Structure 1
């Protein structure tokens, strides 16, 4: 049964997901049609945890605001968080860390969309009985998150669990034998 009084905050580290997709999976800059369908992330966690989700999409926007992308995020229910800072400052990481810290004081659940180990300690602090999850690409997930699974941290793969992509990605992954389909290889 849905709990409409409780909220899940979905914090998206867009830079991390985009870099992983481009550098590690595709080997090039992703085309627009190859990027995640972010609305599916919100719908997935709303259905999975049975409560509304508020998406916060963090992006570095030092000298320009990508208005087309910002408008698209707003249209699908995300709240863009455009950030700026000095050269070399990881503004997205800093903002997400601060937000995770602030959420420790709220009665809310959290889904972090990132593979980045810079958030492990902050996520650990949230594992106090609330639902906490990390979404990304399983083969690129920071090992520090795996240590937290025994404390209740849930994992969601952007492609296989959330189905955030329109086309299959060229990924190499370990396949549980119960999920093995030889037709995928023939």
Structure 2
């Protein structure tokens, strides 16, 4: 096995951020279960795209009861749920600490979030020339701080990853070659 074969990708998921963006900014309401991303598609997409193993870490804030059925579903899909409790933005703190710890490893990293709070960590990860870094999310909601980081790939959850079973009501710029007026009549 070569060093390249041993590499893996860490997929760091800020589920709260994706859920909030989907609900508040795209749907304008709390998403129904069938409108949420098919989380298993994120794992398989990046595994195919980067041709290496993927370790999915799904960060959750747990204030009350444990969301047992959701956690069981994540485990069944191959994720490691990381359930957190405490003061402050516990998911952000945990993802930042994880990103910092990954600086000591040679593995590749994909952040699933739009949150600018991760820009310093992602910047440091992207500065390692042999490491691939990426962001998954909705392109129109990506923070300008994250967008400015060089050497970071971007994968749109809907258009690239195909993580949804139905088309979302997103506003987007349409290439004139793809414009069909019947979509709007």
Which category describes the TM-score, using the shorter chain as reference length? over 0.9
User: What's the offset of the Cα at 1:62?
Assistant: 2.2
The RMSD of aligned alpha carbons is 1.3
8 Å Cα contact 1:11-1:110 kept in structure 2:
yes
Residue number in structure 2 paired with 1:104: 103
- Specify the alignment match of 1:113 in structure 2: 112
Query: How does the TM-score come out when normalised to structure 1?
Result: 0.93
Give the Cα–Cα distance (whole angstroms) in 1 for the partners of residues 180 and 98 of structure 2: 41
**Given the alignment of the two structures, is residue 139 of structure 1 paired with residue 133 of structure 2, yes or no?**
no
Q: Deviations over 1:154-179 (max 9, x none)?
A: 00110000000000000001223454
1:40-55 paired onto structure 2 within 5 Å: 40-55=41-56
Please say if 1:75 is aligned against 2:44: no
Aligned to 2:153: 154
Whole-Å separation in 1 of the counterparts to 2:157 and 2:67 = 23
Pair 1:32-2:51 in alignment: no
CA contact (8 A) 1:159 1:165 kept: yes
* 1:145, distance to aligned residue in structure 2 (A): 1.6
For 2:37, what is the secondary structure of its paired residue?
Answer: coil
Q: TM-score, normalised by structure 2?
A: 0.93
User: 1:173 is paired with a residue of what secondary structure?
Assistant: coil
Could you tell me how far 1:31 is from its partner in structure 2?
A: 0.5
Q: How many angstroms apart in 1 are the aligned matches of 2:48 and 2:175?
A: 25
List runs of 5+ in structure 1 lacking aligned partners: none
Task: Tell me: CA distance 1:131–1:65, structure 2 relative to 1, closer, same or farther (3 Å).
Answer: same
Cα deviation for residue 181 of structure 1 reads: 4.4
Aligned residues: 180
The CA deviation string for residues 61-100 of structure 1, in whole angstroms up to 9 with x for no partner, is 12321000000000001100000002xx100000000000
Structure 2 unaligned residues grouped into runs of 5+: none
